[in-house]
Structure 1
Amino acid sequence: MLTVLAGCTGNDNSLPSAQFVPIEEGPGPNYVIGPLDNIQIFVWRNPELSTSVTVRPDGRFSVPLIDDMVATGRTPTQLARDIEEKLSQYIQSPIVTVIVAGFQGPYAQQVRVVGSATRPQAIAYRANMTLLDVMIAVGGTTEFAAGNRATLARVIDGSQKEYGLKIDNLLKDGDVKANVKIMPGDVIIIPESFF
């Protein structure tokens, strides 16, 4: 039995510690709009057409004069040009600005936390996101979580790979080596302890 356990520890499925660099806040110019994002649409010289909407789960939204326009997969600038094109049927030379006010991002750009997190959920990925950022967003782990047996599932070149995480070491002991970089699409699975 000891030989089998020793063999398991030799498997290096660990991630390097995160390098701390300045974090970009909010969506940048290349942000791609996703379902449930909140977008603010400003139409210059036409305040009655300016509005704030949430992108529906099907990726579409509706505003005055425009029904069921696709927003997902578009940058704010691309969407603004699309809206200008539609509005040009009704007003002369519309100038539109789109701002993402609340963002979830496309599903492939979210980080999912399942299992024994205080609030399991999907989180919008941010540049330079770390495991600590994710754990703060989900409120940490439950009292019955086995944080040091958690795994991170990541798709690399079309195949899924799993890595061991040491969440308890990070949250309870302050071990910064356990703080790893998170990538868009990562899934963190936190099991319960066996007691």
Structure 2
Amino acid sequence: MYLHLANRFKLFAAVLLLSLTPWAVQAEWSSRELPAELSQLGPGDIISVFVWENPELSQEISISPDGNISYPLIGELQAAGITVGGLRKVIEREFRKHLKDPQVTVSLRQVRSYNVFVTGEVMSPGLFQPTGAVTVVQAIAMAGGFTAFATRNNITVYNRFNRKSRLTFDYDSFIAGQPETDDFVLIPGDTVIVR
């Protein structure tokens, strides 16, 4: 009887531990600091602008392909390449020309400017537009995983904005848990090449 209860307790503890693991992983992931490039707005992103005490000026806006937004009362503004907080300051500054002490809130509603490319020996190579930051392993998973011919220990990552920046990733070492291998976050415009 005692042995049976001890086994039940062990089973309960194991189930409890496994059920809490995703929360621990999520907390660890959310505490990682993302590169500054990921916090910048880009073409296609949809933002929400709320102007306190002036709801008629509040709206959702899509950033145009040239990186601008057109806003009532203040005209066209450059939005791509700056952060949400930076855009809020620009909008408030422009509204000060027309309103007394404007209070503006800007939030990112939908990310469409985060593009990564996965090519080479993956099942479905192509352009991917995730809704948030992804790592090398996640990008490969979005591309359907490796083909049978993939060299998994020499994956190359290039960035279109800095062609000299070339990183390598060893998938097999990462999966084996080797501490020197980190599954890093891709930045917009990265190309993952699996040979």
Q: TM-score, normalized by length of structure 2? A: 0.61
Which of 59, 67, 89 does residue 51 from structure 1 map onto?
59
Paired letter, 1:113:
V
Partners of 1:43 and 1:95 within 8 A in 2: yes
Secondary structure of 2:107's match?
strand
Which of 138, 141, 147 does residue 133 from structure 1 map onto?
138
Partners of 2:48 and 2:107 within 8 A in 1: yes
Distance 1:112 1:37, change over 3 A: same
Secondary structure of 2:151's match?
helix
The C-alpha deviation readout for 1:129-148, integer Å capped at 9, x for no partner, is 53222234x24247x56333
Partner Cα separation in structure 1 for residue 78 and residue 99 of structure 2:
21
Instruction: Please state if 1:147 is matched with 2:166.
Output: no
| Identity value in percent | 25
Distance 1:164 1:100, change over 3 A: closer
Q: What does residue 16 of structure 2 align with?
A: none
Q: What does residue 24 of structure 1 align with?
A: 30
Aligned length: 158
Distance 1:146 1:61, change over 3 A: farther
Q: Which residues of structure 1 form unaligned runs of 5+?
A: 1-19
Distance apart, 1:60 and its partner CA = 0.5
Q: What does residue 121 of structure 1 align with?
A: 127
Which of 101, 110, 113 does residue 93 from structure 1 map onto?
101
Distance apart, 1:158 and its partner CA = 7.1
Large movers: runs of 4+ above 6 Å: none
Q: What does residue 189 of structure 1 align with?
A: 193
Which has the higher relative contact order, 1 or 2, with Cα contacts under 8 A spaced 6 or more apart? Answer: 1
Distance 1:121 1:100, change over 3 A: same
Q: What does residue 36 of structure 1 align with?
A: 44
What is the Cα-based RMSD across aligned positions, in Å?
Answer: 3.7
Partner Cα separation in structure 1 for residue 64 and residue 148 of structure 2:
34
Partners of 1:51 and 1:63 within 8 A in 2: no
Q: Which residues of structure 2 form unaligned runs of 5+?
A: 1-24
The C-alpha deviation readout for 1:99-131, integer Å capped at 9, x for no partner, is 1122245x7xx54323445362244663xx532
Q: TM-score, normalized by length of structure 1? A: 0.61
The structure that is helix-richer by fraction is: 2
Distance apart, 1:50 and its partner CA = 0.8
Partner Cα separation in structure 2 for residue 89 and residue 71 of structure 1:
19
